[in-house]
Structure formats: structure tokens, C-alpha cells
Structure 1
Amino acid sequence: MTGSSHALPVPHEGPARVLIADDHDLIRGGLAALIRAAPGLDVVGEAVNGLDAVAQAARAEPDVVLMDMRMPELDGVAACTRILSAAPEGARPRVLALTSFDIDEYVYAALRAGASGFLLKDTAPERLLRALHLVAAGDCLFAPSVTRRLVETYTRASVPGDEPLTDLDRLTPRELEILRLVATGACNEDIAALLTVSEATVKSHLSRAMTKLGLCSRAQAVVMAYESGLVVPRRCRAEH
């Protein structure tokens, strides 16, 4: 987990600015053409490797980085870490990992580093565009069931209570409750309805919790919830 503490990014008005990073010319070009033709999205750069992605992200200040996980010079995980660490407070882009396998240690590492979600390279175009819009908005976890399955596969919290919840001790009971619900994949609207509070209240509590824990994304919050033992992987519940 990153230990930095930054305000969460605030989406601006206008099209979401997308940086594409992939070392395969055909894939990168196809993605760029698809995104340029879609309403509400704008391609601000095409990077050919991880180092190029880091440099272009600093210059173009994208809202979303569509990042291949396996690239030369610097892989997607390291590039994600550098991009999120270097971005100014309140202006970190959201990283959407591109992968060939839905259960992938590279993707899990990217989520731990702050990526907002991931997509398979054979994803249908309409689903990819929806994911970009959803990740840019940031209020929901994209593909929550698949994300939880990935996290449960690679989580380090094999048995609840193995490690003290030191970081979570900094959260209020309400912040803990909301973090736990986020880890189930619930959107702000769903959490607000369940707790009988406003969406603004949910956002405020979640923002404070993520700032205290140095988290960049809802997906990273899911990883934290599982690794800390706040949420127990289903395989562990079945064994105990």
C-alpha cells in the first residue's frame, strides 16, 4: 500500500482525458480510435512503454490512464506507482489496468498500488467505454465481483486476526462501516440507502477514511479491507 496522504481527485467538467499505454501498435491504435469516436472521452496521449507513460502522464495530466500491465522499459505496476506518486495533490489520475488474464498477480499488484480497476484485452468495446466513464467518475467499483475474486485469490490476509489492524484503528466506527461496505462493491448510492444517510455524507466519510489510510482508489480500499482482515476471504470463512 502507498503510505502517502492526498486528497481524492475531483472530476472536472468536460470530456474525460484518457492516456493509453500499450507497447503493441495495433492494440494502442485501435483503442485510441475507439475512444476518440466516443462521446465524453478524449485521448490526450499514446505511450509505447511504461517510462513513456510516466512522462506523458506528467505532461498531459489525464483523468484516466489505460495501462497495459506487461510493457518493456517499465511494467504497468511500476508505471502506475510512479504516476500516482508523482501527481499533485487532488489531481491523481485513475489507472485502469489492461490484462490478458482476469486472475493476474500483476493486476493485483496494480490494485495494491492504487489502480482503480482492470479490464481484459478482449473486453467488448461498449464495456470498455463504460468502464472508462465509470472509473473517471470514481463513485463505484468497476466489476466488483471480479475484483473481489482477484483480491481473494491473492490477499495476504489468510486468516482474520493474524495481524493487528493498526491502520484501521485510526478510523471512526462509521468510516470502518463504510470501508467494509465499499469492499463488498457497493456504490455510494447503495451505501447511503442502507445507512439512511445522504450520498454526500458517504462521500465525506469515505474520503476521510481513504486519506487517513493513504489510499488512491476504491479498488485499493478493497485490497486494504481484505489484507487487514476487516473483510474475510470466502475461502477462510469456509475453513473456519
Structure 2
Amino acid sequence: MQRNLIVTKDGSHTVAIPEWEVSYHSVYGAVQESLHVFIEAGFRHWWNLNENASQCVIFEMGFGTGLNALLTTLEARRRQHKVLYETVEAFPLEMEIVEKLNYCYALEESFWQPVFHSLHTCEWNSLQHITTFFSFKKERILLADYAPSEPVDIIYYDAFAPAAQPELWTQEVFEKLLAMLSPDGILVTYCSKGEVRRAMLAAGFQVEKVPGPIGKREMLRGSRLKEKDLV
């Protein structure tokens, strides 16, 4: 599978797969998209609703470039909130590409480059304490084979688009994801397609449309149905 490094409109990198006609992040801006979808609508939103929580457990579907993990590491340190971050990646990026990714420099956080590098080079299938506030575990497996170590508070659902990987956007997949969530857990995804929203609803999610990042009108955020919603 050919993977090409490209520069997006905010100056940060993404990786394109010509064969599938997809990229790991938005061509309108990799960093701005991840900040909007996963940090603002996911991480910050959850913490604002759970201010007294001792830690946040995050699962990311598709470690990919490591951008979402890096941004979460930075946000956890700024807020001084503890995070347990687990992710799966069946097809890791080649280190030749990883070493060229410019996220720390695009964020003007070049000090964090060694930490970003460690996310890619640390041991698989083993919990790593990356910083005081960020513990990290990556598994080289498919989503179907993953089981969280404890209930998940936030799911970053960052699979490739349904046109490229339709098997990852089905009702059955979302049922698995819903079962992983803690009672107050949420799922955020850049995707807002009607078929995806319907699959989430059929799986038992309560789904809301949220304003999307630059280049997308909407995104989706899902949560567990509360008892009052079941009446």
C-alpha cells in the first residue's frame, strides 16, 4: 500500500493513500481538524461535564500518525488531568514517514518532539508512562480483537471514511463501541454521513450533530441513552 506525505492547508502534514483516495487527516488542516473534533468536541467537552473525575480513559480507533495522541498529551499536561490512552493500529506507518511529520513544529511545541517520537517507537501491547499525566498503550490488532482494560470515557473514532472501510461503520461495530463506554462516556467522529448516524442510533447511541471543522459542516458526537430517553 502506497502512503504519501502531504502538506495540508494549515501547514501540518497528513498521509494520503492514493489507492483508497483517502488521507489520515483533513486536507483543510490536519492539526485544526484534530483539535476541533477530538480535543474540543471530545476531550474538553467530557472534562467540562466531569470536572471531579480523577482520570479520563480514552480509546482511539486507528493510531495512524499519532497526532490525536500527541494533542491529548499536550492538553492533559496543560490541564494537569490524568489520561489513560489506548489505541489499536493494524498497519503502522513506516518510520521513514513518521520521522518527517511536522506536528510539534506546526504547533510551535518542538520541545515535545522526543515525546511524539516515543509514541511511535515505544513497545507494543505494553502500558507506557509517557508523561506524569499521560499513560499510553497501543496494540497491533484489529478493532474486532480489542478489549479495553477498563470502561472508556471518550472514544476517538478516527477510522478511514465509510467509502474506504465500510465494515468499520456498521451497527454491529457501534454496538461494540457502546458496550465499551462508561456510563457518562462519549464517542466523537469527524464523519457525519446519514448512514453512520443511523447505524449509531440503531446501536443504541444518543447522537447529536456538532459544528464541524474547517471544510466540514457537521460532525457527530454520541453518548449512552439515559433512562429518561428510554421511556
TM-score normalized by the length of structure 1:
0.35
Larger helix fraction of residues = 1
Larger strand fraction of residues = 2
TM-score normalized by the length of structure 2:
0.36
